[in-house]
Structure 1
């Protein structure tokens, strides 16, 4: 399809160790007009790493959580589409990035979502990770809803996007990423801090869509993926 353009947006909090590997795959990628890292109040030099590896940098004034960081970045996007990539991915390559963009660029899908090789077993079994952080989206889906992000929990962004995608009724592509992994929070922060972070994320999701809301989202997203 013609007239498409893509910005890569990467929210990052204390990811100075893993961010270089991600940027090696996206900076200079031919599909991207811009690669923007949003440093969410990091204390480990993440922002400086982003600049050294050729990305644009936005600095959040403090650690406000992923949703706030993405809100800050999305305000600057002027391309037709945005590609959301997590900052801690392992095994990312330019070809993997292209595989996520291709269904949307070819017009066979309205949006695309990754399914990483180390996603929880249940997500791989049902064929969709409903809270995947790696997505390609038309900005038209969210551009006039950025104010709504201010009312979301710190980790309510992905399930909010799911609601918007379901409302469109348009097809989505689930893109298999068998060689890409996202480290567990326990591995990055230590066991107890990691478990607390996971619990906080799940609580934010539950408060956003309800305890059983994720079941309906998964069912509806699978229907769109099959359409």
Structure 2
């Protein structure tokens, strides 16, 4: 069974389109929105759409929100989806889930159409927020998550995937986009938000470890899998 976890902070305008792609999807047994201290009615929007909601107060950051969500579910696999995606469809969800459910990989990662050009060129986005992972991979490390920076989750998870030697599938999502922070918060606020995210990443792992993660994931992790494409 698959639980879909959606961390969300002030995403009421964008969240309904994301929920429309995951609610009722045949591969997903539960959809949980973790409302991370929102002030715009995100929780109410999620409930109105039919999702379960876990409300956190005050805002704790993405890593803490995901840790709380993981504690709240017991499904075998976790589908992690950002709350602000544009163009997400049930077919995109199916494409991301299939490599794991079909046994070709243990983990799948999205590669969105508007991912940075370098990531699209090399074929992997090591910071993607859209992943399918075994819950058993992360569950023993929840206390460690509580100690990570607000945006340290993805690179910490990459380290666990690499340490376990898991097979990784990268699924291209050419029609799915994540809005730039500058578009959501304004130019200068977006720049500051990006700088804070990068600070958190490199507080979690050194830059050379990040490079090692990128090339290891690009090779398919513990296998020779190559990127697949959303049908």
TM-score band (shorter)? over 0.9
Choose which of 201, 205, 211 in structure 2 pairs with 1:205: 201
Choose which of 181, 186, 193 in structure 1 pairs with 2:189: 193
User: Is 2:133 the partner of 1:137?
Assistant: yes
The gaps in structure 2 that reach 5 residues or longer are: 226-231
2: CA distance, partners of 1:206 / 1:179: 30
What's the CA shift for 1:144?
A: 1.1
User: Is 2:153 the partner of 1:157?
Assistant: yes
2: CA distance, partners of 1:126 / 1:37: 32
Choose which of 37, 40, 46 in structure 2 pairs with 1:41: 37
What's the CA shift for 1:203?
A: 0.4
What's the CA shift for 1:212?
A: 2.6
Query: Aligned ranges for residues 11-50 of structure 1 at < 5 Å?
Result: 11-50=7-46
Choose which of 73, 79, 102 in structure 1 pairs with 2:69: 73
The gaps in structure 1 that reach 5 residues or longer are: none
Q: Scaled by the length of structure 2, what TM-score is found?
A: 0.95
Match in the other structure for 1:58: 54
2: CA distance, partners of 1:135 / 1:222: 15
Match in the other structure for 2:122: 126
Q: 4+ runs of 1 displaced by more than 4 Å?
A: none
2: CA distance, partners of 1:37 / 1:107: 27
Query: Aligned ranges for residues 179-190 of structure 1 at < 5 Å?
Result: 179-190=175-186
Kindly indicate whether the alpha-carbon contact (under 8 Å) linking 1:166 and 1:224 is maintained by their aligned counterparts in 2.
no
Match in the other structure for 1:218: 214
2: CA distance, partners of 1:60 / 1:193: 23
1: CA distance, partners of 2:199 / 2:10: 22
What's the CA shift for 1:170?
A: 1.8
Choose which of 172, 175, 186 in structure 2 pairs with 1:176: 172
Aligned-CA RMSD value: 0.8
